[in-house]
A and B are shown apart, each in its own frame.
Chain A
Amino acid sequence: MRSPLIPEMATQEVQLNETLAHLKTESETLKTKLEEERAKLHDVELHQVAEKVEGLGQFVMKTRRTLKGHGNKVLCMDWCKDKRRIVSSSQDGKVIVWDAFTTNKEHAVTMPCTWVMACAYAPSGCAVACGGLDNKCSVYPLSLDKNENLAAKKKSVAMHTNYLSACSFTNSDMQILTSSGDGTCALWDVESGQLLQSFHGHAADVLCLDLAPSETGNTFVSGGCDKKANVWDMRSGQCIQSFETHESDINSVRYYPSGDAFASGSDDATCRLYDLRADREVAIYSKESIIFGVSSVDFSLSGRLLFGGYNDYTINVWDVLKGTRVSILFGHENRVSTLRVSPDGTAFCTGSWDHTLRIWA
């Protein structure tokens, strides 16, 4: 016996499928339109415009300090605004604060988890944040008393449902931005631990993030295993721009100092530059001889140089405008996992799976 409900449900389902098909068509149309709009403005290449710029000479950069003390792979590091202190985190669960001038260790904390993949210095210099396989981001106030147990004052701020891949304080010690293997980014209030905003849009693990320079306003960029780099409005949670030209995971993203562009480093062995106002990729930094992934990128103060830390243990230095490599630096005995230029641009620091950090200048 045929139920009278069946024809009705069948009709509803047909209607749903038609609307779904309609949406998919609109989605394809919009994607094509986006490509066309972007292509219209692609009148020239960055390196062509840069032909008239003077070439860069030879660079002599060497390891000036080696920071030894971690018992396993160094995964992340960050500079303090005082331009001399550094926080680093390791697979062995330790987070260390160093004086990079003297190489002395000033603080050390043992986390309850291994693989502390993220660490960040607070703008005030009075605290550090870190996290990893514990799925959390915790803040440790730094005590002047070296004997004080830092772990006792620990504050759990962020909670994700998968590993913490990156964290960064915003302009103050009061808010932290995090990215996670759970595919989201989130903004948290440090004092209360409250979630202020979450950012959904990546289709896989988010591996990295960077905040826009303060003059540019409230945006940040994130990169993930879905090969996408997304630019977000921090207040609304909306993804405002998205770039998908890399061929593999994006391990690192960093804003150009003016805030008008950002660079990315990927497992596809390339670094790329995306201009936000042109809304497209404007440069690729690659060589046939470079076949290992880029773990970490950062700009020199003027934005002319891009430093990339690679899984083949080297650092490649690129002329951002001309697209050519200007230097290759050797020294680490395993993958370079993290790289940051100091706040005053006098040096850059790298961390490696060889358990050490190096300061280069």
Chain B
Amino acid sequence: MSSKTQSSSSMAQARRTVQQLRIEASIERVKVSKASSDLMRYCGEHAKNDPLLMGIPASENPFKDKKPCTVL
């Protein structure tokens, strides 16, 4: 590869990197405090519907074995 070709492909690479960084630098961001409280709110709102978090009775979970019942 001639040194000129090498230079132009490193150029192409460098141009792509700069373009990519420009895109990333231009996005809108929010503060971590705001982002965190939104994550917390989502957890809170959906907690009661989260079976692994809340635990659900064996009778409602198809994977938990139901205890055998004896009729007296």
Q: Contact residues of A with B, CB < 8 Å?
A: 9, 12-13, 16-17, 19-20, 23-24, 26-27, 30-31, 33-34, 37-38, 41-46, 49-50, 53, 56, 59-61, 64-65, 84, 100-101, 201, 238-242, 256-258, 260-261, 275, 277-280, 282, 300-305, 320-321, 341, 344-348, 359, 361
Contacts and interface: CB of A to CB of B under 8 A. Distances in A.
Nearest to B60: A346
Interface of B: 3-4, 7-8, 10-11, 14-15, 17-18, 20-25, 27, 29-40, 42-47, 49-53, 55-56, 61-65
A279 B7 contact: no
A16 B4 contact: yes
24 contacts: A16-B4, A19-B11, A20-B7, A30-B25, A31-B21, A41-B32, A49-B36, A49-B37, A53-B44, A64-B65, A101-B62, A201-B20, A239-B20, A242-B24, A260-B35, A277-B34, A282-B32, A301-B51, A302-B42, A346-B63, A348-B52, A359-B63, A361-B52, A361-B63
Contact of B46 (A16, A261, A303, A346): A303
A280 B50 CA distance: 27
Contact of B52 (A30, A260, A277, A300): A300
A10 B27 CA distance: 41
A41 B29 contact: yes
B30 A304 contact: no
A153 to B, nearest CB: 30
A219 B66 CA distance: 41
Nearest to A19: B11
B29 A38 contact: yes
Nearest to A277: B30
Contacts of A303: 39, 42-43, 46
B56 A346 contact: yes
The CB with the most chain A CB atoms within 10 A, among B43, B49, B50, B55, is that of B43
Contacts of B17: 23, 27
Nearest to B28: A277
A239 B27 CA distance: 12
Which residue among A201, A238, A347 has the maximum number of chain B CB atoms within 10 Å of its CB?
A347
B51 A345 contact: yes
A30 B16 CA distance: 13
Interface secondary structure of B, over-half rule: helix
Contacts of B15: 23
A337 B22 CA distance: 37
A106 to B, nearest CB: 16
Contact of A257 (B27, B37, B42): B42
Given A34-B24, A239-B20, A305-B52, A275 B35 contact: yes
Contact of B40 (A37, A301, A321): A321
Contacts of B52: 61, 300-301, 305, 341, 345-348, 361
Contacts of B22: 30
A361 B54 CA distance: 11
A304 B32 contact: no
B32 A44 contact: yes
B32 A278 contact: yes
B23 to A, nearest CB: 7
Contact of A278 (B8, B20, B35, B51): B35
Given A301-B49, A320-B39, 16 more contacts: A16-B4, A17-B7, A41-B30, A46-B39, A60-B55, A64-B65, A242-B20, A242-B24, A256-B39, A257-B46, A277-B34, A280-B32, A303-B43, A305-B53, A341-B52, A359-B63
A278 B29 contact: yes
